[in-house]
Amino acid sequence: MKASGIVRKVDPIGRIVIPKEIRDVMSINEGDPLEIVKDNNKILLRKYHIGCIFCGSDKSIIEFKGMLVCMECKNELIDNMVNV
């Protein structure tokens, strides 16, 4: 089996270090909340967003390609695409 990524060891209290290169690419900063999700036999880490990725609203939220978007921003995006 061929390795396909960066390997890190889990420390005695269960922590791992996310490499700086990955934090930079994913815009993960110190103090940012991350969500830990079990997906079959995988552990996924993703930036945690309480609400819409654009305005932060937690009203009328839908998920689009793994991101949360409120209906107001969704409609604004659609309107902007029509006007392009």
Check if the beta carbon of residue 70 is closer than 8 Å to that of residue 60. Answer: yes
Within-domain flag for 2? no
Range of the domain at 73: 20-82
Domain-embedded: residue 11: no
pLDDT tens digits along 51-65: 898 998 989 999 888
78 lies in some domain: yes
Helices (H), 1-84: 20-25, 71-82
Q: Does a structural domain hold residue 8?
A: no
Q: Which tens digits make up the pLDDT trace of 5-47?
A: 889 999 999 999 999 999 999 999 999 999 898 989 999 998 8
Distances (CA, A) of 34 to 3, 4, 26, 80: 25, 23, 11, 31
> Residue 2: which pLDDT band, with cuts at 50, 70 and 90?
low
Q: Would residue 3 count as lying in a domain?
A: no
36 inside domain: yes
pLDDT at 72: 95
The pair of structure tokens assigned to 53 is 């990725």
* pLDDT-based confidence at residue 48 (cuts at 50, 70, 90): confident
Contact predicate 48/35, CB 8 Å: yes
In the chain, how many domains are there? 1
